[in-house]
């Protein structure tokens, strides 16, 4: 993505709900075990997260290693190099308390407290493909909740045609917000309301069964597996229901390179590189990129009647 000197910026079947475990019971059990051990109950949230169900949304493709997922990152608030977020985000990003403000065109604006969300939800694991617009990809076992389930609580109105998302703005915690002045911080993203309500759109709270590492967008980030990775905005503090298509960071910087939709599409090349193939991190040979990142059977209907080469 970059934009240094030249503008070189740059899920098949959901498991049925029947096999939910009762997360509250699990947590209650963990909490009492911790209390018995003389530890505070909050310590339960630092350990592994209970997984209520698991969905394999990348066929038999092998998940990328935890090491690669957590050390090859794009998180420009911590620098433009892939290894910088792992080096500096964990020491700088303060994860608690953390709230997400939900506002705009809805009947019940309010806030989401991350710990309450984790406690109240039956967390789902989703193993799915992640395709960066830079033509590399991974398979990531996220843990979290469907975005629609969270948004519905705020009762979006008929005027809510889009959903806008915002990352934390705090240069003390995110140093590049002070140094890289070409970027219109805070990082922002958006979805059309029907995309946001699609069952594949996901809010991730964890990774490989543990709470999200800072460098992957802790404590809460978006996962939209049929779109390029930059739509997956990290460390979200604001969600707003809006009537008009909201501005987004990459689209504002280079609209001809980064469309609002940014659906993975091997036939629509980026002006300076092909999107036909991708390098799967940890593999040697490049593999062909799949339309909608392989999730077309589920999401293609969202775009019927649209010219995907023009509205890219
Ligand atoms: N706030 C914020 N969110 C962001 C980014 C960023 O720089 N800042 N980079 C995006 C890009 S380009 C990608 S590919 C993914 C990378 O997520 P990962 O590091 O967890 O693989 O995060 C996206 N979300
Ligand atoms: Mo990306």
Give dist(CA 134, CA 270) in Å, integer. Answer: 9
The minimum-distance atom of ligand 1 relative to the CA of 187 is: 1
Distance 261 CA to ligand 1 centre (A): 16
Find out whether the beta carbon of 129 lies less than 6 Å from any atom of ligand 1: no
Pairing verdict, β 188-192 and 162-167: antiparallel
Distance CA(242)–CA(309), nearest Å, equals 25
101-160 tens-digit pLDDT: 999 999 999 999 999 999 999 999 999 999 999 999 999 999 999 999 999 999 999 999
CA 262 to centroid of ligand 2, rounded, Å: 11
**For 304, what's the count of Cα atoms within 13 Å in the CB-facing half-sphere?**
4
Residue 286's pLDDT is what? 97
Condensed to tens digits (0 to 9), the pLDDT of residues 214-229 reads 999 999 999 999 999 9
124: which DSSP letter? Answer: E
Quote the pLDDT of residue 47.
Answer: 78
The span from the CA of 47 to the CA of 69, in Å, is: 19
pLDDT for residue 48 is more than 80: yes
Residue range 11-300 in CATH 3.90.420.10: yes
Q: Is 108 helix (H, G, I), strand (E, B) or coil?
A: coil
Q: Give the model's confidence band at 46: pLDDT under 50 very low, under 70 low, under 90 confident, else very high.
A: low
Answer whether 128 contacts ligand 1 (Cβ < 6 A).
no
Evaluate: CB of 233 within 6 angstroms of ligand 1: yes
pTM of the complete model: 0.88
Q: Is 79 in the pocket of ligand 1 (CB under 6 A)?
A: no
Confidence category of residue 298, pLDDT binned at 50, 70, 90: very high
Beta-strand ranges (E) seen in 229-295 are: 236-242, 277-280, 287-288
């Amino acid at each position: 993505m970059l934009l240094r000197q030249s503008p070189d910026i740059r899920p098949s079947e959901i498991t049925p709900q029947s096999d939910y475990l009762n997360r509250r019971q699990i947590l209650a059990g963990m909490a009492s075990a911790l209390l018995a051990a003389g530890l505070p109950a909050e310590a339960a949230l630092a350990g592994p997260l209970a997984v209520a169900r698991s969905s394999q949304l990348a066929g038999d493709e092998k998940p990328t290693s935890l090491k690669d997922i957590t050390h090859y990152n794009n998180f420009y608030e911590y620098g433009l190099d892939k290894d910088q977020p792992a080096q500096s985000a964990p020491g700088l990003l303060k994860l608690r308390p953390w709230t997400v403000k939900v506002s705009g065109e809805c009947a019940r604006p309010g806030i989401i407290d991350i710990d309450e969300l984790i406690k109240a939800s039956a967390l789902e694991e989703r193993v799915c493909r992640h395709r960066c617009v830079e033509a590399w990809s991974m398979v990531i076992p996220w843990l979290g909740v469907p975005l629609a389930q969270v948004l519905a609580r705020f009762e979006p109105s008929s005027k809510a045609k889009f959903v806008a998302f915002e990352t934390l703005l705090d240069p003390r915690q995110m140093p590049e917000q002070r140094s890289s002045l070409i970027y219109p911080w805070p990082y922002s993203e958006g979805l059309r309301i029907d995309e946001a309500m699609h069952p594949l759109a996901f809010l991730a709270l964890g990774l490989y069964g543990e709470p999200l590492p800072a460098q992957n967008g802790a404590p809460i980030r978006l996962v939209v597996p049929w779109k390029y990775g930059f739509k997956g905005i990290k460390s979200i503090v604001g969600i707003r229901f809006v009537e008009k298509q909201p501005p987004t960071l990459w689209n504002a910087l280079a609209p001809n390179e980064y469309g609002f939709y940014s659906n993975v599409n091997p036939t629509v090349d980026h002006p300076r590189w092909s999107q036909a193939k991708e390098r799967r991190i940890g593999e040697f040979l490049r593999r062909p990129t799949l339309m909608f990142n392989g999730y077309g059977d589920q999401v293609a209907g969202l775009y019927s009647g649209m010219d995907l080469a023009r509205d890219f």
